[in-house]
Amino acid sequence: MNGPVEWFAAIAGMIAALMIAWDHSRRITGWGFVLFVFASIAWIISGIVNGTPPLAVQNMVLLAINLFGVYRYLIRKKEAQ
Q: Does the pLDDT of residue 29 top 80, yes or no? A: yes
**Total structural domains in the chain?**
1
- 80: in domain: no
- 14: in domain: yes
Q: Does the pLDDT of residue 79 top 90, yes or no? A: no
Cβ contacts of 30 within 8 Å, gap of 6 or more = 69, 70, 72, 73, 74
Q: What is the mean pLDDT of the chain?
A: 94
Q: The pTM is what?
A: 0.90
Which domain does 26 fall in, by range? 4-75
- 26: in domain: yes
